[in-house]
Structure 1
């Protein structure tokens, strides 16, 4: 049964403290601003307990957002293909005060303040020879909020989390998506990158860079390729680790095959990684090359844009064949990665 006690605070505010004691649930408390609200809450709570629909909010009251993200990072992310990158994002989000809030107190207003604060913050990019400061992009903030949303929804489904108002992230306006990058290498930039990579401490870096452009493969696809995945006779590479989880056969150009054949390999070890680098190490090695050359605003993933644009020109607009090379399943994504220069298109019109 329920009991309601009237309480007057020092500032004159009146509160009505409700206690519900009923078999099937622990003793429950709530403070309401009016007697009507107190009675309504007591009736609803007793009704939920009677029909077995009552679920407690103890987890939401005791667990902070930071604790939730830590558990999500430890138990869920290792099984995801992009888990390492997402764990790095968790560590970045953990630096902000919002992670100290109990989940029960995490409101859309609090998340909107986090969003606005992130949009105003800056990050330092570049190596020791050319560091620059730039604003955090809207896309980065979208990814931060998506991570929080994924962790909360997983806890709601799997861990017994109860939030009376549901997932708070769904009520937060996301920043607009960033404009897709159109950066390609220009002039002799690509040749300079290859030359610098050949002189680096990473013995297969230059080969990986050239292979990435020739095949348009993603970083993870390149780094996870093994010799057993290559069929030189059919001129294909079997990509088992892909972004969407579906294996695919990537066609290999004559130059891509030549790059592979130039690499050393151990006899009989078909399971050997071809390029011998983890995705993160590949990115770091590429960034060091770019930094030493003093090139601005170029990233490893831009090689995929460069490769897609080169292949598109070779295929004279055959989007079906181009999609087979890049692995894209939609024309919209294919367009985002293909950046033909006007002068290149003009040559096709002659």
Structure 2
């Protein structure tokens, strides 16, 4: 028989609450008292069972009298405890948000809520905006073709990247959402002053303007020859993104049944992108897209990709488990093609630019293809086709 060990945790019912007894590494115990009643959800940890029971009894009494049971405790609780309660109280929270809250907890989790003030919050946001992205803890060596958290500056030096303002903006709202949630659940006043005084970092501070250089697409295609696997698929995906203006995430979810090719009238061909597959699915105004194809995309699918089709329900790009895998592959392709500071999203930017430069489609018509909800985002492309605007103007004058 194996050795039997004492349970590390045991719970007991006390009135309307519960006491959880936990064993510590030093052999002692802690007693966490939890009360959930009439919309009140509070907990506190004590060194003795007696104190835990007294807390539950006192809390019960305050609830019956309609008194607030959390105001005093809220001053002592740390931000880390609040974040943990928030995670446990929202089981459907996305993993990426849990990871951000874990990172925030490492950095400011020991700060008591009573000490969370404007100056400290502003200092934290400023620190994060200037912080270099650290190496992964599990990183042991550099890998060929993978620059990870490094970039090349204007002097040609390889330096560590800093966090984007859009990333720190998520940190900002994660903290705000967690504190607001905790105050609501525990019935105390939410202090919005730090958030009123500190502006959230911009979501799009410096829009990228990177375009493909002359011959760069050909270099990327040629660089795929140096890959060990999925050579032709990689070539097609790069071209697909460059011609379609689609996001990589929604592209990876396209199935053959979503592609409608009309060989007799190719101009009527389109690709169906359901709302649920789009990054902006939860935003107001999001809708299913029936994206028309430019000629290059039509011929790419018809002449090079159709040979992969086996079933209408198959993905058109089943060669990678998801976008993340091709992100890393694309870095290697760019390195082999000697393409500096190029990202997968830049291919979408290139495709959007093409529509403005080579078509007379309106902004709304282009947005139906690209999936932009906010037309203000497309205004950045307006200066790409002044000759098109002039042609429309002269054409309208000649008709008079």
What TM-score, normalized by structure 1, do the two folds share? 0.70
Distance 1:254 1:271, change over 3 A: same
1:220 correspondence with 2:230: no
Q: Which of 52, 57, 61 does residue 66 from structure 2 map onto?
A: 52
Q: 1:1-350 residue pairs with structure 2 within 5 A?
A: 52=66, 54-57=68-71, 60=74, 64-69=78-83, 83=94, 86=97, 89-90=100-101, 92-95=103-106, 97-123=107-133, 127=147, 131-156=158-183, 159-160=185-186, 162-166=188-192, 168-176=194-202, 178-200=205-227, 201-203=229-231, 204-233=233-262, 234-240=268-274, 241-245=277-281, 246-261=287-302, 262-263=304-305, 264-265=307-308, 267-268=310-311, 270-276=312-318, 277=320, 278-316=322-360, 318-336=362-380, 338=381, 341=384, 345-346=386-387
Task: Specify every segment of 5 or more residues in structure 2 that has no aligned partner in the other structure, as ranges.
Answer: 1-37, 41-61, 136-145, 153-157, 263-267, 282-286, 392-400
Contact 1:152–1:167 (8 Å) recurs in 2: no
Please state how far the C-alpha of 1:307 moved relative to its aligned partner: 0.5
Contact 1:119 1:137 in 2 (8 A): yes
Deviations 1:266-308 (A, max 9, x none): 533x332221231222222222222333432221111111110
- Scaled by the length of structure 2, the TM-score of the pair is 0.62
Whether the 8 Å CA contact 1:197–1:205 is kept in 2: the answer is yes
Task: Find the counterpart in structure 2 of residue 17 from structure 1.
Answer: none
User: CA 1:164–1:339 in 2, change beyond 3 Å: closer, same or farther?
Assistant: closer
Q: Which runs of 5+ in 1 are unaligned?
A: 1-23, 26-47
Contact 2:129 2:168 in 1 (8 A): yes
Alignment RMSD (CA, Å): 3.6
Q: How many residues align?
A: 296
Q: How far apart in 1 are the matches of 2:191 and 2:103?
A: 27
CA distance in 1, matches of 2:236, 2:88: 35
